[in-house]
Amino acid sequence: MDLHQAVESALLILDEETTRPTVNYDYVGEVWPRALAWQEDEYRNADFTAASAGPEALTQMRRAREREVEENPTLWRFKSRNFELLVLLLHRLPEEQRPLFLKQFFVEALERSPLNKADRFSDAHGWGGYTSGLALLLEFGVRTRQLDLLCDCLDGVTKPSAGVAILLRQLAETIALNFTMFSESEIVALPQRLQRLKAAAARQSNWFTVPSDGEPPIGNVEYVPGSEFEAQEIVQTIDAIAGQCKQAQYFYLKGALEQTANLEVENDKAKVLAFLDALGFEPHLQAALLKAEALYANATDIFDLKSCLGLLRSFLEEVHSDACKAIAAANPALSVQTEWGNIVAFLRKNGFLTAQEEKLLTGLYAVISDQGVHPLIAEREYGRLIRNMVIEYGLVFLSVLSKKGVSIKAANP
């Protein structure tokens, strides 16, 4: 597939997303959704569970101009079949072609700004009765670590559109539900990155401005009839995003000061979950990691921590086993390995692990398998050490798979 075909294919996926949206968030928390806290008894009496009440909670949350940011970013899980297709398409391209593909895709998508009348029964995130594939473009840009490029392309938008308004509303949703998808520095810089787009939209609204010298309000001389509602929505949404970014900054600061959670690790955990989705690993791997997290966070005794370590060991085993199968499926000359030691050696021999990383992985696996607690270390400290190492190692390994274009989903259609 050449570059032009790849861009056209990506735009086709975006058109399909516009007509039949797949972007959404599922509530996966065990506690009752905060947005429906005051209606919990009413919903439970109607046989709702926390999970099944999620869509109702999300609808309530979307009505707010400035969305509240969820301090726990693991409560809501992003899902989109078309996002997975875009990632698969990206990995079909040689690594050196990907930056140009991404730039052309982003620019052309923003220029076309696809729009479709929303299905009245759809739970997709839209605006003004419309849906747009630009919501998917936003999630794709954020979750493939292309936020800077996407903001650069938004700087080139000169005419307000409903599609861009929907993109920004999706950005507000991503911050509200999964704020750790953004680094702390990205959160700090984001309001300023959107200022050029805000200024372009404000110039084309029909709002009045008040001169700084106290003179009576004067009309906006750059106002062009026909897109004032889109322009105003863009300005208001960017202002609301700035408020969300302040709240997210506070959560980063709170975590650092209280040391109740290492938000860098939390951020990396969210990235690991996103990579598992994008690369096509089976959903139960995500579930295993989240269950290990729950056991770690709520451990009441050493048995909870041992169960946590057992799940982390199984997670490491299956991630590497599935990767081995996918790599071998793409190269008939390679043989699938089933034993742990052979799997690790296979990955090192084929350039997916360095010799030192192989030693690190086998050592980490051996420590987890022992599951013995060092007499000079408290059980909680031991669990935290292993949990953090698995998350950080997992992010490095999954990043390598992504860069090398490995697709678990393609190997298991």
Per-residue model confidence (pLDDT) at position 303: 74
Q: How many CB atoms lie within 10 A of CB 46?
A: 10
Per-residue model confidence (pLDDT) at position 18: 96
In this predicted structure, the answer to whether residue 258 has a pLDDT above a threshold of 50 is yes
What length does the chain have? 413
Contact (CB, 8 A) for 69 and 175: yes
What six digits make up the tokens of 87? 């990632």
| Per-residue confidence band for 280, with pLDDT thresholds at 50, 70 and 90 | confident
For 284, residues 6+ apart whose C-beta sits below 8 A from its C-beta are none
DSSP secondary structure letter of residue 127: B
Contact (CB, 8 A) for 387 and 292: yes
Among the listed residues 74, 73, 101, 76, the one whose alpha carbon sits nearest the alpha carbon of residue 87 = 101
Residue 112: beta bridge partners?
Answer: none
SS3 116: strand
Per-residue model confidence (pLDDT) at position 301: 66
Q: Considering the domain 263-411, what is its CATH architecture?
A: Up-down Bundle (1.20)
Q: How many CB atoms lie within 10 A of CB 186?
A: 17
- CA-CA distance, 293 to 386, in Å (whole number)? 12
Q: How many CB atoms lie within 10 A of CB 169?
A: 23
Helix 147-154, helix 98-112: angle, nearest 10: 40
Per-residue model confidence (pLDDT) at position 278: 85
What's the mean pLDDT when you consider all of the chain?
Answer: 87
Quick one: three-class SS letters along 316-364?
HHHHHHHHHHHHHHCCCCCCCCCCHHHHHHHHHHCCCCCHHHHHHHHHH
Per-residue model confidence (pLDDT) at position 161: 93
Over residues 379-399, mean pLDDT: 86
Among the listed residues 263, 186, 18, 191, the one whose alpha carbon sits nearest the alpha carbon of residue 117 = 18
What six digits make up the tokens of 405? 């274009």
In this predicted structure, the answer to whether residue 168 has a pLDDT above a threshold of 70 is yes
Amino acid at 269: K
For 313, residues 6+ apart whose C-beta sits below 8 A from its C-beta are 365, 368, 369
- CA-CA distance, 188 to 255, in Å (whole number)? 16
Per-residue model confidence (pLDDT) at position 209: 57
More confident residue, 190 or 277: 190
In this predicted structure, the answer to whether residue 147 has a pLDDT above a threshold of 80 is yes
Phi, psi of 221 (to 5 degrees): -70, -15
Phi, psi of 209 (to 5 degrees): -115, 155
What is the DSSP secondary-structure string of 18-69?
Answer: HHS---EEEE--SSPPGGGGGGHHHHHHTT--TTTTHHHHHHHHHTSSSPPP
Among the listed residues 164, 371, 408, the one whose alpha carbon sits nearest the alpha carbon of residue 277 = 408
Residue 131: beta bridge partners?
Answer: 116
Per-residue pLDDT tens digits for 109-120: 999 999 999 887
Contact (CB, 8 A) for 136 and 179: no
Per-residue model confidence (pLDDT) at position 306: 82
Per-residue model confidence (pLDDT) at position 352: 93
Of the listed ranges 51-65, 82-96, 287-301, the one predicted with least confidence: 287-301
pTM given for the model: 0.69
Domain ranges within the chain, ordered by starting residue: 3-258, 263-411
**Cα 300–Cα 304–Cα 306 angle in degrees, nearest 5:** 140
Q: How many CB atoms lie within 10 A of CB 251?
A: 21
Per-residue pLDDT tens digits for 174-230: 999 999 889 889 999 999 999 999 998 988 877 655 555 656 556 666 776 778 889
Per-residue model confidence (pLDDT) at position 375: 46
Per-residue model confidence (pLDDT) at position 208: 59
Of the listed ranges 46-60, 73-87, 164-178, 291-305, the one predicted with least confidence: 291-305
More confident residue, 375 or 294: 294
Per-residue pLDDT tens digits for 330-380: 888 888 888 999 999 999 999 999 999 999 999 999 888 875 545 444 466
Over residues 56-68, mean pLDDT: 93
Per-residue model confidence (pLDDT) at position 214: 59
More confident residue, 106 or 291: 106
DSSP secondary structure letter of residue 209: B
Contact (CB, 8 A) for 344 and 362: yes
Over residues 128-142, mean pLDDT: 95
Question: Of all residues in the chain, what percent carry a pLDDT higher than 90?
Answer: 55
